Structure 1
């Protein structure tokens, strides 16, 4: 039996799997993996489905981590219906084409091909696929891992199939990600009539010095391969709607993308120290959405890079740029983790698409990576 990554990608795109629905995607993957000999089960909670599939029980071992859920298609018109996979001028159009049904299909095709060609390989291959990555993720990979860590041996390495490449397939491997810390800061004032400034305390006026201080702060100069930590304000809310009323509070929401030079706790303490230093009456609610991670080993990156070059002729660069992924959960179980998938120029946009050649090439890269892991027994 052969496994065609393009056909499998089309089948997944046909499923309108807007978070947290899998809309049948996991049944498609389960069928393909089961036919190839994988043992499959679901670890579900609420409306979220999580597929765990595994073959083999020894080392070396690799985990493929992915998601089948997608963001909504949006209200803007598409060139082709977003859940009707359409080939046009060398591209496959559809929601999830880049993010990240192509990777799910390509790794499934590669893994099934590998185990059928090498049924007696030494090692294990596993999948953890969720329908809740684009949402809050509470019932997705994080929840499934809490159960798996109690019963399963940690894999030696992990590929997260997020679209990692910038211009051409193979140009970038993400071998780390910055952490993400959110804050909601409330500056407290005294409400009153604008005509009596001596009787009010305007929290909006406090914003200026605080923003100046925080936006000019040099948090660090970068950390190893990581870019400098960045602070960005995303929202400011204040006012009663009346022109003659000083409001009682001003609310600021912000995000910090931080490298391993910091922890969420150290950044929280730093910002609250700045607020106290400015004499502000404030409260702040913190939410850490991701810790930073960095794959310092070379076991996986060397074998993946070798496969990429063999298929595309490109020598990939290692990067820690970009947002967050479910790698932030996997890192606590499997520290040798990277992200590698197709190009990312159309993710979350209308007319999301992927080059048809990328789908086949990505499946070949994943397949060659499996060969490099399991057939080359000279491990670092």
Structure 2
């Protein structure tokens, strides 16, 4: 049990595993070796689906009489980029000036390392738990998120598992430990617009129909006016176009087709159904505008395809979970964390369908960057927060 109570050693062992999504890379094996001596039963189901890579996941539980607390996270990491640009090799877990360097240091092997250490310390002091703790760990959070947490939760529920509360160890603090806790997330929706035109010579535009003109008209309709001004709990809905493609190498040819892909992060003003309807309505109205298409009477010929799965907006209201973790953060850091719904999506979007969920972890300033790193002092602080939270939650 001794090795598991040190978050620095735990993290170094996890960073050393090159678990670039969707590869397990040895990370789940290392985690299992940490949890088994703490009395956890460990299972590692693999899920797959046509067109996606198989992904190995981990479910570990230590059972007791009382409430069931879930800790959720992921051991997969994003690619390192240019490894030569790193100050230290990205899987070396090198320590310099009080910081540990490595891919996944904050996103989010660090959070896992700290929660394991917190559980180990609690068991060392108290000998047991007044309830159950489970680890729900995926290798598919940084990837498509198809063969990960969603299927792992379905699998566990089918085996009879249920949970009273969950903490996701994603890095939530913008600057310093204690800054922020995530109690909800905006929804996410992606789509692709394809405009079909008529190819022709640029000197004879009346014989062609330039799809770029039509695409620009449609794009403007989704960028203005704003979808909303935000709500009490959420920032304003925001749509961004992420790619525009024509695929035309010739400078004197009007192309036949133009494509644009967008992603929209939406608040609780909308459901996915009402937002899809709003987007369709805007595009249909814009398709009939002729400002950029003089002489063209027919509407813009477009297709809209929704991509991937919808991430639904949610907000957690559980007073025990939020209050207990907030108190643990304040008691450890002296700061009361801001309760926020900012940022992107996380696997909390799956967990919210099973139990109340919040997110709290390390400082995320270097996540996904070259020289991703974490302060050694922050690892100890987060471990202390988690340990206090565990004790208070099961008190």
For the aligned pair, the TM-score class normalised by the smaller chain equals over 0.9
Check if 1:284 corresponds to 2:304: yes
Matches within 5 A, 1:295-374: 295-334=316-355, 336-374=356-394
Q: Is the Cα contact below 8 Å between 1:36 and 1:116 reproduced in 2?
A: no
Report the Cα offset of residue 255 of structure 1: 0.7
Q: Which residue of 1 aligns with 2:73?
A: 66
Q: Which runs of 5+ in 1 are unaligned?
A: 376-380
Q: Which residue of 1 aligns with 2:22?
A: 20
Check if 1:43 corresponds to 2:42: no
Q: Any idea what SS the aligned residue of 2:239 has?
A: strand
Q: Which residue of 1 aligns with 2:293?
A: none
Q: Which residue of 2 aligns with 1:258?
A: 266
Q: Is the Cα contact below 8 Å between 1:59 and 1:156 reproduced in 2?
A: no
Whole-Å separation in 2 of the counterparts to 1:225 and 1:259: 9
Whole-Å separation in 1 of the counterparts to 2:247 and 2:19: 40
Matches within 5 A, 1:207-226: 207-226=215-234
Check if 1:79 corresponds to 2:79: no
Q: Which residue of 1 aligns with 2:192?
A: 184
Q: Which residue of 1 aligns with 2:169?
A: 161
Whole-Å separation in 2 of the counterparts to 1:330 and 1:193: 54
Q: Which runs of 5+ in 2 are unaligned?
A: 49-53, 289-299
Aligned residue pairs: how many? 374
Q: Is the Cα contact below 8 Å between 2:178 and 2:329 reproduced in 1?
A: yes
Q: Is the Cα contact below 8 Å between 1:63 and 1:127 reproduced in 2?
A: yes
Whole-Å separation in 1 of the counterparts to 2:92 and 2:33: 21
Q: Is the Cα contact below 8 Å between 2:7 and 2:117 reproduced in 1?
A: yes
1:90-120 alpha-carbon deviations (Å, 9 max, x no partner): 1111111111111011001111222343334
1:60-83 alpha-carbon deviations (Å, 9 max, x no partner): 221000111111111151101110
TM-score (norm 1): 0.95
Matches within 5 A, 1:1-150: 1-2=1-2, 3-46=5-48, 47-75=54-82, 76-150=84-158
1:44-63 alpha-carbon deviations (Å, 9 max, x no partner): 12542111011125432210
